[in-house]
A = this chain, B = another copy of it.
Amino acid sequence: MTTVPRIAVIGSGAIGSFYGGKLAYGGCDVHFLLRNGFDEIKRCGIRVRGKKENFHVTEVQGYKTSDTMGPCDLVLIALKATDNDALLTLIPPLLHRQTMLLTLQNGLGNEEFLAQHFGAERVIGGLCFICLHRVSPGLIEHFDYGHVVIGEFAGEAKSRTHDLAREFTDCEIVCRVADDLMQERWCKLVWNIPFNGLTIAAGGITTEDILRDPGLRSAALGLMNEVIEAAKNCGHTLPRDVALEQMQRTQTMGAYKPSTLLDFDAGRALEVEAIWGEALRRAQARGTPMPRLEQLYALLKSLNDHRE
């Protein structure tokens, strides 16, 4: 590839390992920052196991610090949003004048954070629709899905966005370019806010448990409608049947535990602000009441804080 010769991946969790690994497996020049699991990944590579995805990157270009990685053309950001402050020191050594920053993180506020510190013109947002689990450093289990939606943070898609999508597609990653990135983010939150939130707050249940319980199902739908209304008031009218379509898709997932629930069960920090808090604040700033989200956000924040 000519437009994106040198790619850095920051964050070697499930998302970073999967997409970075798939790009490397597809022949891209990918450099991984491995602050954890360096020895293991240098020794065993990155392995992805699953019914639909199975590959092994045997030789991983890994680094213990970003200082030693050198400037790159594209930085894939796959850290937890709760670690964003670390980006302030991790990213600068990777930048040249035209380095693109593609955040694959969840929720709202990550593009704004990058734009504020590194310039809006660098920032591209990516939404990952995928069910993964990191078993150990470099060992990723793939359950389902995998497509990515990318879009420019500042304005409509450019030629570089389409080039990037083509690069992803060449490496067998299904990728679509969106003209309104924030509309896509809100659309994804229509699912993440209820299902990631309720599975945790209801005591570690699955998406199937929510659909089966009339009260929880109704609570999920109520949250979805709040998010749709909030998105509208923030200037992003979502597709008409988005709630129905997502409920039907959830039905096909079976007894699925969202990644945030697995994180929570494993004692890892929840992305409370990116997924729940920021959506609430943006809605409230526009005078949109979100009583269900307000309560769920307060509960999740407390659950997250009191566990540490």
Contact = CB atoms under 8 A, between A and B. Distances in A.
A56 interface: no
Contact of A307 (B203, B291, B297, B302): B203
A23 to B, nearest CB: 39
A306 B202 contact: yes
Interface in A249-308: 291-292, 294-299, 301-303, 306-307
A205 B298 CA distance: 12
A295 B217 CA distance: 10
B302 A203 contact: yes
A164 interface: no
A201 interface: yes
Nearest to A225: B291
Interface stretch (A41-49, A176-184, A208-216, A237-245): A208-216
Nearest to A290: B291
Interface residues of A, number: 27
Contacts of A302: 202-203, 205, 209, 213, 216
Given A219-B294, A292-B292, A299 B204 contact: no
Given A298-B216, A298-B218, A203 B291 contact: no
A276 B114 CA distance: 44
Contacts of A203: 299, 302-303, 306-307
Contact of A295 (B205, B209, B292, B306): B292
A109 interface: no
Interface in A215-250: 215-216, 218-219, 222-223
B205 A294 contact: no
A219 B292 contact: no
A294 B221 CA distance: 11
A189 interface: no
A291 to B, nearest CB: 5
A7 interface: no
Top 6 A-B residue pairs of the complex, sorted by shortest distance between their CB atoms: A215-B298, A202-B302, A219-B295, A203-B303, A216-B298, A219-B298
Interface of A: 198, 201-205, 209, 213, 215-216, 218-219, 222-223, 291-292, 294-299, 301-303, 306-307
Given A201-B201, A216-B299, 4 more contacts: A202-B299, A204-B306, A205-B306, A219-B295
19 contacts: A198-B299, A202-B299, A202-B303, A203-B302, A204-B306, A205-B302, A209-B306, A215-B294, A215-B298, A216-B299, A216-B302, A218-B298, A219-B294, A219-B299, A222-B291, A222-B294, A223-B295, A295-B296, A299-B299
